[in-house]
Amino acid sequence: MEKIGVFVVDNSTIFREGLRQSFARIEDIEVVGDSNINGEALELVMSFSPQVVLLDIGLPLLNGLSLIRQITLRSPAIPVIALTPYDNDENFFQAIKSGTAGYLIKNATADELALAIRRVHQGEYIINEMVLTRPKVAERVLKQFQSLSLMGTALERLTAPVTSRELEILDYVAHGYSNKQVAYKLGISEQTIKNHMSSILRKLDANDRTQAVVLAIHYGWILSQVDELSEPTKG
């Protein structure tokens, strides 16, 4: 069985060793390397070429978030799962901005971590589910992204329209579908979906899929799950 290579970045040697031992009992996952959060961590991650990175964003928070951004910029194909000892809105929001594919509390079980690793390895953005299926969290993220200081660009400058096919893809992404699942639904190749997503991000000047979805919801191009949940029942 081909194993998913995981690189662990955490300042606790005991935690890293614990994960290594836990995953040694799981057939399809293997820790290929580990590191503290330091100046050499990025190059170590790149040198090991893992398929998934587990990265602590506890203390120091900014260092961990910065490292996630650097990894996703250097190698977008490597999904990063942010691990945090504190489940609060600020950590969650900052993790979203960094481009992480997943967000888990550090007291998650080995089986929960393994499931998350498998899903992001398959191209899923499990953090989308947390944003878009929990109304209170979704509302806060939407408001935050509407802030020009966080967006980094005025919404009025958004001039490049997305196509009907791209809106269709965004709608699936908003409902938690992975590229592979969207491709199956639409009867086209996964590479075509990836090409469309690249076009969407470029047109919307978005950093990642979540921000693209939030923008599409803001402009009313797609219906958010929050709206769907609050929509009155017809009868």
Question: Whole-angstrom Cα distance, residue 199 to residue 193?
Answer: 10
Please indicate, yes or no, whether residues 102 and 67 belong to a single structural domain of this protein.
yes
Show the DSSP H helices in 75-163 as ranges: 89-98, 110-121, 126-132, 135-146, 148-151
Q: Report DSSP state, residue 2.
A: P
* pLDDT tens digit sequence for 59-115: 665 578 888 888 887 887 899 999 998 877 778 877 877 778 899 999 899 999 999
Residue 128 counted as domain residue:
no
**217-229, pLDDT tens digit by residue?**
766 677 654 444 4
The residue among 122, 152, 167 that closes a domain is: 122
Measured CA to CA, the distance from residue 114 to residue 41 in angstroms comes to 22
Q: How many domains does the chain have?
A: 2
Q: Which domain holds residue 8?
A: 4-122
Beta sheet of 52-56, edge-to-edge order: 29-35, 4-9, 52-56, 80-84, 102-105
The CATH number of the domain holding residue 12 is 3.40.50.2300
Domain-terminating residue out of 122, 155, 174: 122
Q: What is the pLDDT of residues 111-147, one digit of tens each?
A: 999 999 999 998 888 876 776 665 666 666 666 555 5
Q: What is the pLDDT of residues 171-216, one digit of tens each?
A: 888 888 888 999 999 999 999 999 899 888 887 777 888 888 877 7
Any domain includes 188: yes
Alpha-helical regions (H) of the chain:
13-24, 41-48, 61-74, 89-98, 110-121, 126-132, 135-146, 148-151, 164-174, 179-186, 190-204, 209-218, 225-230
